[in-house]
Structure 1
């Protein structure tokens, strides 16, 4: 009977460690502009904040027609906790930011957020 209880304890501890490591992946904490924001003017920066350093490997900015707008990044594709890039002056419209990255733990990540510039 002792063997069964030791086995159960080992399984429980193993599951606890697996669950803890799954929660350790980096997360996007905030964006600028905020997802769904309606702005009066073009934003000076497109930014994201992560809870752990992230190597942003791709960032794209497209409008409602699917046209791409280049952004100027300054991170040199190095891991950062706060990523920012400068967009061109954007006209009125809806915009979507798509990004991909690699967390310090090797976990690939991706996401999107959007904003609108209104009159």
Structure 2
């Protein structure tokens, strides 16, 4: 029979293991263009860096009016700490980049960031 102390110790160990594994997910470190920034010229590439390899499964660049702009990716869906995609010509305006991916540990991740082109 397990004592009350052993049950508490076991529960604490399990909680620590769960918390540690939750912290192991990749996270987005930086973007280019930077989130919320305004750039004078359309970016030559959309770049995201992560703290651990990420397999990007979707990237979408959408204008303020809802227009989706195609991007060309060269990663062949391979996991990487740095993801890069070349967007179609972007006119002046505001854009949202939405992305989804799989972290190295297999967990689904997603996020978005915004930037503007022009003055």
Q: Which TM-score bucket, shorter chain as reference?
A: over 0.9
What TM-score results when the alignment is normalised by the length of structure 1? Answer: 0.94
What TM-score results when the alignment is normalised by the length of structure 2? Answer: 0.94
Which 10-residue stretch deviates more, 3-12 or 67-76? 3-12
Q: CA deviation at 1:14?
A: 1.1
Q: How many residues align?
A: 118
Partner of 1:108: 108
Q: CA deviation at 1:8?
A: 1.3
RMSD after superposition? 1.2
Structure 2 unpaired stretches of 5+: none
Partner of 1:27: 27
SS at match of 1:112: strand
Partner of 2:54: 54
Q: Which aligned pairs between 1:9-88 and structure 2 lie closer than 5 A? A: 9-88=9-88
Please identify runs of 4+ aligned residues in structure 1 that moved more than 3 A: none
